Structure 1
Amino acid sequence: MWWPGTLVQVSLFRALHEKDDRRMSRAKFFLIALICSFCWYLVPGYLFSTLTSISWICWAFSKSVTAQQIGSGMRGLGVGAITLDWSAVASFLFSPLICPFFAIVNIFAGYMLIIYMVIPIAYWGFDLYGASKFPIFSSHLFTSQGQKYDISAIVNDKFELDIGKYEEQGRIHISMFFALTYGFGFATIASTLTHVALFYGREIYERFRASYKGKEDIHTRLMRKYKDIPSWWFNALLLVTLAVSLILCIFLNNQVQMPWWGLLFASAIAFIFTLPISIITATTNQVIKHTHLHLHLAPQACLAYQIN
């Protein structure tokens, strides 16, 4: 476990604080790079935002909807599009300068598979769930006719679901990209647990036994130079936070709209996923988000509250 993102921060702190007698010190190089990157970012970020996504396909076929879906780097698949904006490059996987090469290749292969194979086949090939009625790339909600869904019309003044109004307006539809994002998001959550269990399960077990027997690894020995923070600080903070949250869920339930068992269930999910996600982040610099799981379970808890 080497935490690539942390190594970059350590290198930055060393460049800023350590003395360097070379002609071009690391601090001077960092300052020059910072000024240059800031000056350049003004161009695509403020003066000429078109540089964020340059799509020659959209220029050549400006009146074709299909061409816009294929070539647009902002609202489409981005085939043939290029960018001169580093923030657009970094949005792909945070920063390619930090991530290990094997992680970049893995993510790129998955990106190519989903964007250039799965989505086109599902959208144009099979027209799954009437996908052609909706944009290929959008996070908005739609009606069955492709119009934007009016969420405010199906909730009451307490932000509770009005079943009658929902049935009147019809089911919610989402774009193909959004639907596949949810599907692969759930697959990512499940694969995180299985991957860590298969590849790091034995190491986790051995480290747990070693810590229980009092054996110290190299990191623990290095940290012995610093004064420890008492464990009861963290335990007390956890208990106080959990107690206050439970009080809010029980006595201010009308405002919070979350049953007490929903809070405990969310805490259990966080406890289960903390170690696997930390291991993935420490080795690949990729943070596995379980937002999809929360977005699926939270409405169930709120619906249970509404029924009760």
Structure 2
Amino acid sequence: MGGKRHFSHSTAAVFSIFSKANFPDIWQLSKSAINENKMDVHTKLMRKYKQVPGWWFMCILLANITATLFTCHYYNYQLQLQWWGVLLACGLALFFTLPIGVINATTNQTPALNVITEYIIGYLYPGYPVANILFKVYGYISMKQAIAFLEDFKLGHYMKIPPRAMFMAQVVGTVIAAFVHLGTAWWLMSTVPDICDRALLPSDSPWTCPGDHVFYDASVIWGLVGPRRIFGNLGHYSAINWFFLAGAIAPVPVWLAHKAFPSKHWIKLITMPVLFGATVNMPPATAVNYTSWILIGFASGFIAYRYYRALWSRHNYVLSGALDAGLAFMGVLLYLCLGMEHVSLKWWGSSPDGCPLASSSTA
């Protein structure tokens, strides 16, 4: 049920993206970005620095696509992905970067394309799990990294960091990170006995690789089995495909309500991709995580906006950053103080499913 719900909400969120992304606004903003007479104060201050030439980006893009095509063709027996799959994945990443970037910029939420990319290549090229993994990487991760790249450039824009310095820091950091990740993976696989093998590892081992198992399971479900045998005419869940239509028309009632009640300014702030996308993480999370988040978020937001509106409007961004930084800091602190000492906290809300007495008949 978790997988079906994850798929349905993901497809609805993706197809809501284009209804929410206001294309007239995007067009006007794009023209104002090109028109030098309509620059904000930050852009005017940044004009004293040399800008990054567009051909730098194009050279990196073409070099990477060429290297990917060559690699997938030369090692096709191992990688399984055909040349047209690489180009289709790059096209999807390019197509979705702008509307998802708009939603990310306005709501701080990024709808994911991992399920929709697996779904597309699973239908077009079933029976090839490795090709499914690669298509998801080139179609989804490319778009995700592009938005992260833009976020860093935007931060540098506000902090008045020279664009070329930002560009070099990004490129050099990406190259270093690639080799560090690859070297770390090789080192772990060669030094940790039975890494990722749950059948041979003890129950309290930290090397069970849950993320890698999810990645592998997804390649089997979407690549080897294929969505046609699950959500197509050969499966039992074809009705789930109606969520494509539901996601496409979901923002329409919000738009109609805004037109009917123009004085209610909060209506236009309802973002259906965010509402659908927020439920994607519900299958691995417990009900306690979501209920506490909703209650605390709405209660604190309402109180702050109702009684401290001036402070809220000035310091909301700082508060959001402080909460994110506090979460990261507490994660590191808890690991250093409790995780390294193998101390675990067990309470009624930490149970994976909230029902410790439940058991499977096939156990």
Query: With structure 1 as the length reference, what TM-score do the two structures score?
Result: 0.38
User: Of the two structures, which has the highest relative contact order with CA contacts closer than 8 Å and spacing of 6 or more?
Assistant: 2
Query: With structure 2 as the length reference, what TM-score do the two structures score?
Result: 0.33
